[in-house]
Amino acid sequence: MTTTDNTGPELADAPVATRFPAGFLWGAATASYQIEGAVREDGRTPSIWDTFSHTPGKVVNGDTGDVAVDHYHRWRDDVRLMADLGLTAYRFSVAWPRVQPTGRGPAVQRGLDFYRGLVDELLAHGIKPVVTLYHWDLPQELESAGGWPERDTAHRFAEYAGLVGEALGDRVESWVTLNEPWCSAFLGYGSGVHAPGRTDPAAALRAAHHLNLGHGLASSVLRGVLPARANIGISLNPSVVRALTDAPADLDARRRIDALANRVFTGPLLKGAYPRDLITDTAAVTDWSFVRDGDTAAIHQPLDFIGLNYYTPAVVSAARPDQDGPRLDGHGASEHTPWPGADGVAFHRASGELTAMDWPVDPTGLTDLLLDHTAQAPGVPLYVTENGAAYEDVVDAEGRVHDPDRIAYLHGHLAAVHEAIEQGADVRGYFLWSLLDNFEWAYGYGKRFGAVYVDYETQERIPKSSAAWYSRVARAGGLPAES
């Protein structure tokens, strides 16, 4: 592990200008399939992402997570790296097929032992573990039985949640049931750009409901096995949807996408019901008969917190007759839409500088997102559970990685979080995406989001300038006057 001093000119000493509340968590986040590797070790069986990444044409360059960044073998060094950076929290996901290989039956203790050791190491370094139970790696056997469009998968998820809760509940306080269920449902079963790669709009809507139901059932199980001090929440990736103009047709386009991106989850989660306009908009796709009596009550469980993931806003309008070209929604190229029932909506690129993902940089969207959810769920604490950017990072002749664009991105978005706090949002922490460069889903290893550079040939870790900057912010509890 390299710990090269990457402070660089961007980190000239400056007083802290913007302080965050005492106890604010300064964290980083990762996902199991993106970093662990060791996909055939200690009883782990294939997930849908193993299958998808090994299918020709699905991932750039044919990349897979077979090795990833070898965190399964290097976790102690990675935890020491977190401690060196002064992180106070780490959000990681448990690989379902490592713990319960078929998605049914008893847990594999070797798989649980990996996470027990990781949690113990984090606690020994004063880092709070935040466990995400599902970050997209569904056991392939469950997908072969129908996957998330099938109701049984929600029940299997609740059983799995109980196994992990019983194993780690004595040492982990904070639990995230699902990460970005929108991606699981609509990219996995609608546009097909994520695993399992299916392109059925009705299946995407069924999957969204069963993910919601899985959250509710898992929350109930966790309440039964965890100590009373435990906190249970969910990490959503809501779209900050903006209409291109104030024309009624564009405002209606915004309403449609808000229903499909946001209210399909917040409706049952926060209000115990699906929005009527969502059901009307998608009536030609499905009759929603998969929602059974009692389902929305089961989903509408108490939330101890809500995690929000934010990268860039969405700009929409009604489709114009002369418009043609790719769908600029930032969710990958596909002939199939992830927006069932919204064929008449066009997406536009927001203004702002672009990251390596071609995502516009707009920190104001994060402030808007936090204030919106403060209004929707008053009294429920919020966490930014993902925020970050990919850039074209390179190692210079001195073995350093300077990434001033990422520093500017983080500074702007942390300032946006602080602005939301000043306006009354109860934001308790921020988790940088991501700790390490890693397997970026369908983009393979071509997009680097990490604060720590990883040489994928040697697995050497090199903290970037942004890691040193973020370390300084975390230790000071606030932002310098300038990035």
Active site residues: 180, 386
CB–CB of 68/39 below 8 Å?
no
User: Do you know the residue count of the chain?
Assistant: 483
Question: Residue 52 and residue 33: Cα distance in Å, rounded?
Answer: 12
Contact 45, 101 (CB under 8 A): yes
Alpha-carbon distance of 402 to 34, in angstroms, equals 23
Helix (H) or strand (E) holding 379: none
The answer for 61, left when phi > 0, alpha when psi is -120 to 50, beta otherwise, is left
Strands 128-134 and 89-93: parallel
Strand partners, 436: 452
Tokens encoding 37: 């590797």
The rounded Cα 425 to chain-centroid distance in angstroms is: 21
Angle between the N-to-C axes of helices 364-376 and 404-422, in degrees from 0 to 180, rounded to the nearest 10: 30
C-alpha angle 210-305-79 in degrees, rounded to nearest 5: 95
Reduced to 3 states, what is the DSSP secondary structure of residue 126? coil
Q: What is the rounded distance in angstroms from the CA atom of residue 81 to the CA atom of residue 101?
A: 30
**Under a CB-based contact definition with an 8 Å cutoff, are residues 389 and 405 in contact?**
yes
Neighbours of 192 (CB within 10 A): 22
8 A C-beta contact, residue 459 and residue 70: yes
What is the largest distance, in Å, between two alpha-carbon atoms of the chain? 64
Joined together, the tokens standing for residue 132 give 């995400």
Q: Could you tell me which residues come within 8 angstroms of residue 335 by beta carbon, excluding any fewer than 6 positions away?
A: none
Q: Is 61 exposed, middle or buried (0-12, 13-18, 19+ CB in 10 A)?
A: exposed
CB contact at 8 A, 205 and 282: yes
